[in-house]
Structure 1
Amino acid sequence: MSTCLIHNVRIFSGGPEPAPAAILVRGGAIAAVLDGAVPVQEHADRVLDGGGQLLIPGMIDVHIHGADGFDMMDGRPESVEAVSLACARTGCTSFLATSVSSSLDDLAAMIRSVKRTVGREPGARIAGLHLEGPYLNAKRKGMQNERFLRHPDEEEMAWILREADPLVRMVTLAPELPGGLEMAGRLRERGIVVAVAHSDATYEEAKAAFRGGASHVTHCFNGMRPIHHRDPGIVVAAMEEAHVSVQAIVDDVHLHPAIVRLLYREKGADRMVLITDALQAMGLGDGEYRFGGHDVTVAQGVATLRDGTLASSTVTMNEALAKTAKAGIPLADAVAMATRTPADVLGLPNKGRLAPGADADLVLLGDDFGVRWTMIGGELAYVQV
C-alpha cells in the first residue's frame, strides 16, 4: 500500500489560525496528522512539499448545475464528467449533481447520465443528486421554468426515486404547495435531505415544514418570501430552528456581505453551507447561454434572464471561500462552511475534515485562494500548471 507524505503545509486544527503540519496519506485515506514543529521521519513512497501554503479538506458543493460550457441537464455523461473536472480544478472534491425543473423525460435523462458517470468520474466525486424542483411555487420561481412547475406528486416522486436509486441525497421543494408537507415527511423518512426554496411559505408554514421533515434552506434569501416585520417568512423561521442549515451563494451578487455576516451570526459555521449554484458559464465567463429552457446572458460574471432575474451563478468554490473571508467571516469557519458542514448535512463522516481515517480529499490553496493542487482519494486530480 503506497504512502504519501505531504509536509510543509499549514492547517486549521482547532485554533483560529492555521498551524504548521504534515499529513500522511495511505490507501486513499489520511493515516496521520503530524505536528509540523516535529521533524518528519515517516517513510513514504511519495513526498509533496506544500511550500508553507494552506491545506484544507476538499470542498463539497451541494448545489451545482454546470461548468465549462456543460449543462448536466442535457442528459450526456460527458457533461457530468466535465463538471467533475471543473470542480477538481476549483478545489471541490465532491458534489451533488443538481437538476432544474423540467419535463419528467429530461429529468430521467439527467439521472441516467449521472448514474453512468458515478464510479468513473475524472475529477470530483459525485456524492449524489440534488433535485431542485419541480415541486416549486411559481410565485417565487426565480429562473425556474414555470412551464414545468407542478404540485407534489407522490407517484411521480416514487418513480423518480426508483429511477435514481440510491443517488437522491437532497430535494428542494415548496412545502406550502398541496401535498408538500406530506412529501417532505416521506422523503425525510428515506434519509433524504429536504430543503425549502422557490417557496412563498409563511413563517407558520415554514415552521411546520421544519417540524415535519425539512432541515435545509436552498440559496437562503433567494427565491423565497422576504423578511417583513409583520410577515417573517422562511428565513426567520430557519434562524429560529437550531437543526436547520442554510445554503449561501457568496458571489457579491446574490447576498450582500452584511447578509452573509447575518447568516453566520445566526446559524454559525456548523449550519451554514457555501455553494456555487453554478450554471455552465462557470469557467467560461461572459456570453449567451441556454439554461433551464431560458436564454441567459452573463455580463461581468452575473447571469440573468432577459427580465433581469438572476439565473444561477458563475462563482467557484474557491472564489466563494475567498469572498466569505473577505466579508469578515473567520477563515477557519469559512473553510468549515465549505467542507465539514456540507459533509455533515449529507451524512458523509469521512469527508470534509483532516483527521485520521478520513478520506484523503485535500486541497492546497495559495495566498490568493488559487488552487495549487487537488487530491481525491489520495491521488492528485488537478495540479496547477
Structure 2
Amino acid sequence: MEAVQIINARIATDKQVIENGSVLIDKGRIYAIKREAPEITGETIIIDGEGKLLIPGMIDVHIHGANGYDMMDGTTRSIQEVSKTSAATGCTSFLATSVTSDLETLLRMIDKVKQVAGHEEGAMIAGIHAEGPYLNVKRKGMQNEAHLRHPDLSEMGLIIERADSLLKMVTIAPELPGGMELVSFLHKKGIVIAIAHSDATYEEAKEAFRLGASHITHCFNGMRPIHHRDPGLIVAAMEEQKVSLQAIVDNVHLHPAIVRLMHRVKGPDGIVLVTDALQAMGLGDGEYVFGGHQVTVRNGIAQLMDGTLASSTVTMNEALKNTVTLGIPLQDAVRMASTTPADVLGLTNKGRIAEGADADLVLLDDQFEVEWTMIGGKMIFKRESDGNHR
C-alpha cells in the first residue's frame, strides 16, 4: 500500500484544530501530523484538503437502517446498504442495532451481520447492539409490545453464543424482574450495558450502575422523566462519571437547551452522538414498516399513528452540524461523534486523529457535507463535483 499524504486541511485532533495541517498515512495508519506540508519523498499519494475540515471517522453505536433497508429484515443486502450509506455520511464504524422481536428474528439478524462483518462495502461493523427485548412496556415507545419480555439469562446466553464476539451493547430495563441479575451477567461478559425504555427509579438506576451498567440509550427518550422529588434514571446517570449518554441531536428528540445541559454536566467525554436511524434515513418522507409498526415520516420526523416518535432520520454529519449550531464547540462535538463512542466500545485505535491511530478519516465542507470518507487509509466514498457520490 502506497503512503498517503493529506495536505492543506483543518485537522481536528484530540487537543486542537490545526489550520493548514498535513496528515501522513502509511499502511493504513496515521504516521505523523504536521502543521505544514513536509517535503514529499518516495511513492506518495497526495490528497489536497482544500482548507476543509478533517475529522476522525464518526462511530454510530445506534442505527437500525438506512436507504430503504432495515437490518432486521433478514438479508445481508440490508446490512451492506447501511454500511454504504453510513460511509457516505461520514460514519466509518457502526453497531448494527436490533429492535425488540421474537428470538428467531433476532438470531437471523445476528447471522446476517456475521456474514457481512469483514466484507463491508462501506463503514465497518464494530459489533451488534441489541436494543431489547428486555424493556419496560410502560416506556416502550415504538418497541413492539408483543415481543417485550422479562430478562431471561438462558435466552441471553443463547444470543451471546450465536453472536460470538460481535455482541457489544445491550439495552435493557434493569428494574424488571431479573434485570439486575442480567446486568451482572452481561458485565462479566464484557458487554456494554445500556439502559432505556425503562421506568427505573433513581435508586434502581444507581444499583444497576453499581453492578456494571455504564451507558444510557437515547437519553431523555423512553424513560422516567426528571421530577424534583423523583429524579429517576437521568439524574442518576448524570451523577455517575463512568456513565455515558446517547444524544439524538435531530432538533426533534431533544430541545437545544437539553443538549447544552447534557454537555455542561457530562462534557464531551460523556456524550455519544447517535442517529437511531430507521430505513428512512437517506430517503426522506414516506410510509415505512419498522419494528412491526406502520411509520409515517413527514418533514423528516418519523412517528407511529398515535404520534409516538419512531427512531430518527438524521445522519451523523447532520447530527454533528446540529450540535455545533446549538452552541457546542466544534472540537467537543467531534469528540462526541468520534472519540467518545470509540472509547465506549474500547476501540483505542479509532475515533481520533493521532499518531498510530487507524486512518479512518472524513473531510467535511463548511456546511458539514461529506467530501470523502477514508477507512484504513483507503478512500471508500467520494462525493462527485455535481453532488452525487460514488
The interval holding the TM-score normalised by the smaller chain is over 0.9
Task: Give the Cα separation in 1 of the matches to 2:166 and 2:206.
Answer: 28
Residues 91-121 of structure 1, C-alpha deviation per residue, up to 9 Å, x if partnerless? 0000000000001010011001100000100
Task: Give the Cα separation in 1 of the matches to 2:213 and 2:100.
Answer: 19
Match of 2:13 in 1: 13
Match of 1:235 in 2: 234
Task: Give the Cα separation in 2 of the matches to 1:320 and 1:173.
Answer: 25
Task: Give the Cα separation in 1 of the matches to 2:215 and 2:42.
Answer: 44
Residues 199-240 of structure 1, C-alpha deviation per residue, up to 9 Å, x if partnerless? 000011011111111000000000000000010011000000
Task: Give the Cα separation in 2 of the matches to 1:285 and 1:111.
Answer: 27
Q: Which runs of 5+ in 1 are unaligned?
A: none
Match of 1:65 in 2: 64
Task: Give the Cα separation in 1 of the matches to 2:358 and 2:144.
Answer: 38
**Residue 190 of structure 1: how far off its partner (Å):** 1.0
Task: Give the Cα separation in 1 of the matches to 2:304 and 2:235.
Answer: 28
Residues 74-100 of structure 1, C-alpha deviation per residue, up to 9 Å, x if partnerless? 010000000000000000000000000
Task: Give the Cα separation in 2 of the matches to 1:273 and 1:154.
Answer: 28
Residues 12, 19 of structure 1: 8 Å contact kept:
no
Task: Give the Cα separation in 2 of the matches to 1:14 and 1:190.
Answer: 30
Residues 69, 284 of structure 1: 8 Å contact kept:
yes
| Amino acid in the other structure paired with 1:91 | G
Match of 2:27 in 1: 27
Match of 1:91 in 2: 90
Superposed counterparts of 1:193-212, under 5 Å:
193-212=192-211
Task: Give the Cα separation in 2 of the matches to 1:78 and 1:209.
Answer: 37
Match of 1:314 in 2: 313
Aligned: 1:324 with 2:323: yes
| Amino acid in the other structure paired with 1:60 | I
Paired residue secondary structure (2:214)? strand
| Amino acid in the other structure paired with 2:372 | W
TM-score, normalised via structure 1 length: 0.98
Residues 137, 177 of structure 1: 8 Å contact kept:
yes
| Amino acid in the other structure paired with 1:32 | A
Q: Which runs of 4+ in 1 moved over 6 A?
A: none
Task: Give the Cα separation in 2 of the matches to 1:168 and 1:14.
Answer: 28
Task: Give the Cα separation in 1 of the matches to 2:88 and 2:17.
Answer: 25
| Amino acid in the other structure paired with 1:173 | I
**Residue 45 of structure 1: how far off its partner (Å):** 2.7
| Cα distance change, pair 127–14 in 1 and its aligned pair in 2 (3 A) | closer
Match of 1:127 in 2: 126
Match of 1:373 in 2: 372
Residues 63, 94 of structure 2: 8 Å contact kept:
yes
Residues 366, 372 of structure 1: 8 Å contact kept:
yes
Task: Give the Cα separation in 1 of the matches to 2:122 and 2:82.
Answer: 8
Root-mean-square deviation (CA), in Å? 1.0
Task: Give the Cα separation in 2 of the matches to 1:303 and 1:340.
Answer: 28
More displaced stretch, 10-19 vs 220-229: 10-19
Task: Give the Cα separation in 2 of the matches to 1:17 and 1:130.
Answer: 32
Task: Give the Cα separation in 1 of the matches to 2:169 and 2:89.
Answer: 23
**Residue 15 of structure 1: how far off its partner (Å):** 5.0
Paired residue secondary structure (2:371)? strand
Match of 2:158 in 1: 159
| Amino acid in the other structure paired with 2:106 | L
Residues 5, 44 of structure 1: 8 Å contact kept:
no
Residues 13, 55 of structure 2: 8 Å contact kept:
no
Percent identity of paired positions between Structure 1 and Structure 2: 64
TM-score, normalised via structure 2 length: 0.97
**Residue 16 of structure 1: how far off its partner (Å):** 5.4
Match of 1:105 in 2: 104
Task: Give the Cα separation in 1 of the matches to 2:189 and 2:34.
Answer: 39
Task: Give the Cα separation in 2 of the matches to 1:32 and 1:164.
Answer: 37
**Residue 304 of structure 1: how far off its partner (Å):** 0.1
Task: Give the Cα separation in 2 of the matches to 1:75 and 1:32.
Answer: 42
Match of 2:388 in 1: none
| Amino acid in the other structure paired with 1:150 | R
**Residue 44 of structure 1: how far off its partner (Å):** 4.0
Residues 58, 361 of structure 1: 8 Å contact kept:
yes
Paired residue secondary structure (1:214)? coil
**Residue 377 of structure 1: how far off its partner (Å):** 1.1
Residues 277, 313 of structure 1: 8 Å contact kept:
yes
Task: Give the Cα separation in 1 of the matches to 2:325 and 2:349.
Answer: 29
Task: Give the Cα separation in 1 of the matches to 2:300 and 2:187.
Answer: 36
Task: Give the Cα separation in 1 of the matches to 2:170 and 2:146.
Answer: 19
More displaced stretch, 234-243 vs 9-18: 9-18
Match of 1:188 in 2: 187
| Amino acid in the other structure paired with 1:347 | G
Residues 137-195 of structure 1, C-alpha deviation per residue, up to 9 Å, x if partnerless? 00000000000000000000000001111100000000000111111111111110000
Residues 36-61 of structure 1, C-alpha deviation per residue, up to 9 Å, x if partnerless? 2x544344431100101010000000
**Residue 356 of structure 1: how far off its partner (Å):** 1.4
Task: Give the Cα separation in 2 of the matches to 1:19 and 1:205.
Answer: 48
